[in-house]
Amino acid sequence: MIQIDALPAFNDNYIWLLQDNASKRCAVVDPGDAAPVQAWLQRNPEWQLSDILITHHHADHTGGVEQLKRQTGATVYGPANEKIPARDVALSDNDHLTVLGLAFVVHAVPGHTLGHIAFYHDDPRQPLLFSGDTLFAAGCGRLFEGTPEQMHHSLGRLGALPDSTLVYCAHEYTLSNLRFAVAVEPENPDVTGRFEEVTRLREQNRITLPSNLALERRTNPFLRVSIDAVKQKADERTGTDNASPAAVFAALRAWKDKF
């Protein structure tokens, strides 16, 4: 059994900490800052950091890698197509890796950055997805390097994973994402209900993650670009007929950038 906890970093990042209680080994995903991980290891001195997983090159995901690697000798996995500090294993689409006994397959998901990868643990009992800054709870990452078409395709891949897949993304953006989702689909009770629930959680300063793919398909506008009501809203915004789902996606993403 692997336990997964969030180590908060900076304003709104989460460093995911995977713990294998049997071996007392642990792994982290996207340690943008070494300090929260070091503090946890200090509080839990019997534990060994064995693996570091990186989704993309941005500093808020990689800033702690070199220090943690130096201190612990952990193996660093990261995307082959990006410059990742201290990377030991360069990963490309469909590559397989095993971390703490969990088998992961790599999904290349360009858009936020061109080399961005996601880590998927394909276990029918409990599938897990570490989606970095690609699929957020009720949202998606900004397009810093890729095109809307690339991101739409990437989200299509992640959006096709099983309903029960737990989604561990790298930021606490859920509330602001849902504010936008309500603007896109004011009549969708799943969206308004989730907005109210997440509002309550954030009022108590509680985490809104992990999400799951069934919930994302019901409430994340960027996974709902084929829904009539979503296309209609996109068309209203652009004053044009967004004839393809990719065009609807592009219109939503551009709208969200200024929302």
Measured between its terminal Cα atoms, the distance across the chain in Å is 41
Which is closer to Zn ion, CB of 20 or CB of 133?
133
Q: Read off the DSSP letter of residue 171.
A: B
Which is closer to Zn ion, CB of 57 or CB of 194?
57
What residues contact residue 1 under an 8 Å CB cut-off, 6+ apart?
A: 21
Which is closer to Zn ion, CB of 58 or CB of 69?
58
Instruction: Give the C-alpha separation, 24 to 129, whole Å.
Output: 22
Active site (annotated) includes residue 171: yes
**Pick the catalytic residue: 112, 116, 121, 152?**
112
Residue 87's binding partner out of Zn ion, Fe ion, none, with CB under 5 to 8 Å set by partner kind:
none
Residues in the chain, total: 259
Compute the least distance from the CB of residue 151 to Zn ion, in Å. 13
- 119: tokens are 């880590």
Which is closer to Fe ion, CB of 133 or CB of 172?
133
Q: Which of 40, 171, 25 is nearest to 112 (CA)?
A: 171
SS3 151: helix
Which region among 20-28, 101-109, 126-134, 219-227 touches Fe ion (by CB under 5 A)?
A: 126-134
Taking residue 240's Cβ as centre, other Cβ atoms within 10 Å add up to 11
Compute the least distance from the CB of residue 133 to Fe ion, in Å. 4
- Determine if 133 is a binding residue for Zn ion (CB under 5 A): yes
Residue 116's binding partner out of Fe ion, Zn ion, none, with CB under 5 to 8 Å set by partner kind:
none
- Determine if 216 is a binding residue for Fe ion (CB under 5 A): no
Taking residue 75's Cβ as centre, other Cβ atoms within 10 Å add up to 18
Instruction: Give the C-alpha separation, 78 to 81, whole Å.
Output: 9
- Determine if 60 is a binding residue for Fe ion (CB under 5 A): yes
Active site (annotated) includes residue 116: no
Active site (annotated) includes residue 153: no
Residues of this chain that bind Zn ion (CB under 5 A): 58, 133
Residues of this chain that bind Fe ion (CB under 5 A): 60, 133
